[in-house]
Amino acid sequence: MDEHVRISHFRNHYELTRKNYMVKNLKRFRKQLEREAGKLEAAKCDFFPKTFELPSEYHLFVEEFRKNPGITWIMKPVARSQGKGIFLFRRLKDIMDWRKDTRNSDDQKDDIPVENYVAQRYIENPYLIGGRKFDLRVYVLVMSYIPLRAWLYRDGFARFSNTRFTLNSIDDQYVHLTNVAVQKTSPDYHPKKGSKWMLQRFRQYLASKHGPQAVETLFRDMDNIFIKSLQSVQKVIISDKHCFELYGYDILIDQDLKPWLLEVNASPSLTASSQEDYELKTCLLEDTLHVVDMEARLTGREKRVGGFDLMWNDGPVSRDEGPPDLSGMGNFVTNTHLGCVNDRKKQLRQLFCSLQVQKKASN
């Protein structure tokens, strides 16, 4: 390929973006950290729910299931998106029925393989706003794995369910799945309002309820998720200078303000569900292309490009100028501003408003 050519995926990006491979790599990385750095460091990888791949780990899953009777589990197909094929269950009988359904009939059993699923412990105590469940969509741009060079986008959004949360109806997907593709089919869905909050609004809401320090801790824990998950696949991803990847992270917050990694999307949806969503994704695309820099205009020393902040450059990036002092990490502040004001987006909104005014005046 020519020097300027770029491809928007790494060759085996599925190591992080397929649900079963993501968990496999995170488990392996956690064991590696425990061997090399001790249990305290390994505990920093405890941000994904207990997960088993089915059918290959079915017997291990049954063993764990029987240790904790009555809790809720969630089944997800490993390679589907937009909430397709997901269901919740509390009885092994439900899994037995599922296994029968996924087994092929005698005339098909040699032709069609059984679809792999993950069985994951369901977070039964999600943080609720207005009685409704939500998760966060956060964007991370990786320009290189060797060395690891990753940018975090300031903007993102919380996706809400349209129905108040309850564990009494585990069959109601409008209660438990926050995917826009699911929620927009709800009778209560409002197409103009959508079901999203921008991350700035979400951060301000949490600060008013729990104080700035609790919010800083939560967002720092989310930074840890981004970095540890990328490090878990750093040695298995086929790195190539022509490749980059824009990941869409799905994060759930529980009542203790602990963030959980649900999944990482290789092709996050860029379809807009509202005017605000349109502005976000327009800026996101433009800023991504500026970081990718096919015209070679950047110096390579930038810490911020548009709404992106460089959070890892073969090591943590400090907000302060100059090389960071990592000896004690006491005053070290990571160069991340998730949920903070994005000047680019504000400028774009002003442009949209002025165009609307001009349009009305001409009419």
> How far apart, in whole angstroms, are the C-alpha atoms of residue 69 and residue 97?
18
Average pLDDT over residues 147-158: 95
Domain boundary among 63, 90, 122: 122
Domain boundary among 71, 90, 122: 122
> How far apart, in whole angstroms, are the C-alpha atoms of residue 355 and residue 341?
22
Same domain for 141 and 91, yes or no, is no
Residue 74 lies in a domain: yes
| Residue 48 in this model has a pLDDT that exceeds 90 | yes
Same domain for 62 and 162, yes or no, is no
Strand partners, 54: 117
| Residue 348 in this model has a pLDDT that exceeds 80 | no
Same domain for 342 and 232, yes or no, is yes
| Residue 187 in this model has a pLDDT that exceeds 70 | no
Share above pLDDT 90 across residues of the chain, in percent, rounded to a whole number: 58
Q: Name the residue with tokens 């969630």.
A: 74
Confirm if 320 and 334 have CB atoms less than 8 A apart. no
Residue 4 lies in a domain: no
Residue 40 lies in a domain: yes
The CATH number given to whatever domain includes residue 54 is 3.30.1490
H/E stretch holding 217 reads helix 212-232
pLDDT, one tens digit per residue, over 82-124 is 667 788 898 888 877 666 665 544 444 444 566 788 999 999 9
Encode 181-206: b = buried (16+ Cβ within 10 Å), e = exposed: ebbeebeebeeeebbbbbbbebbeeb
Same domain for 100 and 144, yes or no, is no
Phi-psi region at 215: left, alpha or beta (left = phi > 0; alpha = psi -120 to 50) = alpha
Please say whether the dihedral angle defined by the alpha carbons of residues 184, 155, 291 and 239, taken in this order, is positive or negative: negative
Residue 39 lies in a domain: yes
Chain-wide mean pLDDT for the chain? 85
- The amino acid sitting at 286 is E
Question: pLDDT at position 328, please?
Answer: 47
Question: pLDDT at position 176, please?
Answer: 82
The CATH number given to whatever domain includes residue 141 is 3.30.470.20
pTM for the whole structure: 0.87
Residue 6 lies in a domain: no
Same domain for 27 and 59, yes or no, is no
Domain that holds residue 76: 50-122
Strand partners, 251: 136, 261
Same domain for 80 and 40, yes or no, is no
Question: pLDDT at position 107, please?
Answer: 42
Same domain for 252 and 356, yes or no, is yes
Same domain for 226 and 318, yes or no, is yes
Residue 192 lies in a domain: yes
**Length of the chain measured in residues:** 363
Same domain for 33 and 57, yes or no, is no
The pLDDT confidence band at residue 144, using thresholds 50, 70 and 90, is very high
Same domain for 106 and 229, yes or no, is no
Average pLDDT over residues 55-78: 90
Domain boundary among 77, 103, 122: 122
Same domain for 233 and 102, yes or no, is no
| Residue 306 in this model has a pLDDT that exceeds 90 | yes
The pLDDT confidence band at residue 296, using thresholds 50, 70 and 90, is confident
Question: Count H helices, E strands: the chain?
Answer: 11, 11
Residue 330 lies in a domain: yes
Same domain for 118 and 41, yes or no, is no
The pLDDT confidence band at residue 261, using thresholds 50, 70 and 90, is very high
Residue 78 lies in a domain: yes
When divided into structural domains, the chain yields a total of 2
